[in-house]
Amino acid sequence: MTNDIPCGSRIYAPENSTRTRSPGSERESPGQLTTTVYYTTVDAAWRPDTVWRYRLGSGESSERVYHEADDRFWLAVGRTRSNAYLLIAAGSSITSEVRYAHAADPTAQFSVVLPRRDGVEYSVEHAVIAGQDRFLILHNDGAVNFTLVEAPVEDPARQRTLIAHRDDVRLDAVDALAGHLVVSYRREALPRVQLWPIGPDGNYGEPEEISFDSELMSAGLGPNPNWDSPKLRVGAGSFVTPVRIYDIDLVTGERTLLKEQPVLGGYRREDYVERRDWAYGDDGTRIPVSIVHRADIEFPAPALIYGYGAYEICEDPRFSIARLSLLDRGMVFVVAHVRGGGEMGRLWYENGKLLDKKNTFTDFIAVARHLVDTGLTSQQQLVALGGSAGGLLMGAVANMAPDLFAGILAQVPFVDPLTTILDPSLPLTVTEWDEWGNPLNDSDVYAYVKSYSPYENVTAQKYPAILAMTSLNDTRVYYVEPAKWVAALRHAKTDGNSVLLKTQMHAGHGGISGRYERWKETAFQYGWLLATADSDRYGGGQGNDLDGAAPA
């Protein structure tokens, strides 16, 4: 529901929709007040499937602009930074299609930029080159790590390549300003940003990467809503560098530090060490490993290894105040950038999904063994952490290499994937088939998922201590998955290590709400991790009487 504030009336979504998902409003033209509202509604599976248009003050009902019939595709609506065009983006996990219309026309008809083709993804940005409207199209058609082209708005198929495909660089995004392009990309498992000036004659100048003073600095764009802004806002941070916000003068290149994340308690960056290491998978693949610890630590030390490895999500270096609690207690924090994520490009993702999903698990095990073999930690001091799809990873490695870990913490873990993706009535199942495969139609997929599903592969063997966290109101990974997994582990295991299940009764997939309640939850988890990895100092984590108190 939307309120029309000047006249006090209420505008309701159409009766055949469920509820408004992501409202968006557009300018009629630069400088004018908004008189048209575009918004999406969702279907019974909470998929944004329809875009509507409402003319404020018209007294008319909302007009349906576009409906997406394919259950795999989700819709979003917005405008270009220039305010010149409206865009409706339809996307599945592997395919996309964009429609555009002139923002100045409140009755505009939308046209397709490029017709959808299975497996081809693209995004669209508007730029003005030598006074001419151009679409900047980032696509993966014949370019697995994406390529950037420009094309006339009136003929998007007539393209000119601006940035060719590279095997070692993954293009993530392009943003257009009045006189510059900003390209976001990945190289060597780190996000980077490049400035590319546009001359008045339409020629592009020399691109320049925005560099920082740390090997593991993650850089990305901040909010830059203004088309003709003389400055670019960027953010940067690392495991030991609190988040910094800069403005960069687009003419002089001068960098102004606007803000740095405050850290209390006398934090000094030089007291900590961050570094990049590389492990080798079973097939010889180099796996990036990020490591952070106090500079005065002695090895082998208690270590926490974290992994995710799904949906092309990148686990980039970032600062965490809470994590200092672990580091200052002598623990090493490690991120295993396993296949299934996107850190090393699109093929890194492709080689960790569908019928190659087991690479995610074997990569994680390889990194864990590397940490032990190099003397950073020992098997008795190593604990693992992962959530959601990373919880699937936790369940898989618990079955495959239980002797490698002292403990495993699985947050809202996706540990019964076969049952879930066999049920298309669940909110995410149909869209998830592009990630895991469709076992309803493919017997090979059924057999493969069953062969690694944590629940299906619990066996009579010794397991490390396990803490599973779930939420009663989680609609992404239902609480029954970790509950039945824990029950199976307790029934089958042959050791005396504890297997604990903690269920939040008033939380969802993202965990409990409220700042202080989240701190308490983090303290509970950190207490268990420390007690399990360093039982001589923080013993008690394996007892069934763990009450959630933070360690002293």
Q: What is the reported pLDDT for 2? A: 54
pLDDT in tens, 406-440: 999 999 999 999 999 999 988 778 889 999 999 99
Tokens of 386: 């992962």
Active site residue 337: no
Q: What is the reported pLDDT for 28? A: 42
Cα–Cα dist 368/407, whole Å: 13
Q: What is the reported pLDDT for 25? A: 41
Cα–Cα dist 204/201, whole Å: 9
Look up tokens 């209420």; give the residue.
Answer: 10
Active site residue 506: no
Q: Which of 7-11, 81-85, 327-331, 380-384 is least confident?
A: 7-11
> Which of the 8 DSSP states describes residue 551?
P
- Quick one: how many helices (H) and strands (E) in the chain? 10, 30
Q: What angle do CA 99, 100, 105 make, to 5 degrees?
A: 140
What's the Cα-to-Cα distance from 459 to each of 366, 390, 399, 492, rounded to whole Å? Answer: 22, 21, 8, 6
**Catalytic: which of 92, 123, 388, 471?**
388
Count the neighbouring beta carbons within 10 Å of the beta carbon of residue 8. 7
Q: What angle do CA 172, 173, 175 make, to 5 degrees?
A: 160
Per DSSP, the residues of 93-127 read SS-EEEEEEETT-TTPPPEESS---TT--EEEEEE
Q: What is the reported pLDDT for 32? A: 45
pLDDT band of 511, cuts 50, 70, 90: confident
Active site residue 434: no
Do the Cβ atoms of 314 and 342 come closer than 8 Å?
yes
Q: Is the peptide bond before 200 cis (omega within 30 degrees of 0)?
A: no
Higher pLDDT, 360 or 108: 360
pLDDT in tens, 336-348: 999 999 999 999 9
For residue 435, which phi and psi values (nearest 5 degrees)? -90, -40
Cα–Cα dist 283/397, whole Å: 17
Q: What percent of the chain has pLDDT over 90?
A: 78
Tokens of 45: 């599976």
pLDDT, average across residues 346-365: 98
Q: Which of 331, 479, 480 is nearest to 407 (CA)?
A: 331
**Structural domains in the chain, sorted by start:** 1-120 (no CATH), 269-538 (3.40.50.1820)
The answer on pLDDT for 350 being more than 70 is yes
Per DSSP, the residues of 8-69 read TEEEPPPTTS--B-S-EEE-SSTTSPP-EEEEEEE-TTS-EEEEEEEETTS-PPPEEEEE--
pLDDT band of 334, cuts 50, 70, 90: very high
Cα–Cα dist 75/66, whole Å: 9
Count the neighbouring beta carbons within 10 Å of the beta carbon of residue 135. 26
Higher pLDDT, 502 or 551: 502
What pTM was estimated for this model as a whole? Answer: 0.87
Higher pLDDT, 89 or 59: 89
pLDDT band of 3, cuts 50, 70, 90: low
**Catalytic: which of 474, 498, 534, 535?**
474
pLDDT in tens, 445-502: 999 999 999 999 999 999 999 999 999 988 888 899 999 999 999 999 999 999 999 9
pLDDT, average across residues 521-546: 81
The answer on pLDDT for 181 being more than 70 is yes
Q: What angle do CA 365, 366, 369 make, to 5 degrees?
A: 85
pLDDT, average across residues 79-94: 95
Cα–Cα dist 135/124, whole Å: 6
- DSSP helix/strand/coil, 137: strand
pLDDT in tens, 18-34: 333 333 344 444 444 45
What are the residues whose beta carbons fall under 8 Å from the beta carbon of 88, sequence distance 6 or more?
51, 65, 66, 75, 76, 77, 98, 99, 100, 110
**CA–centroid distance for 230 within its chain:** 30
Q: Cα(first)–Cα(last) distance of the chain, in Å?
A: 49
Cα–Cα dist 82/153, whole Å: 14
Higher pLDDT, 21 or 314: 314
Helix (H) or strand (E) holding 475: none
pLDDT, average across residues 49-69: 93
Say if strands 382-387 and 407-411 run parallel, antiparallel, or are unpaired.
Answer: parallel
Cα–Cα dist 1/20, whole Å: 7
Residue 369 exposed, middle or buried by CB count within 10 Å (0-12, 13-18, 19+) = middle
pLDDT, average across residues 497-516: 89
Q: What is the reported pLDDT for 540? A: 56
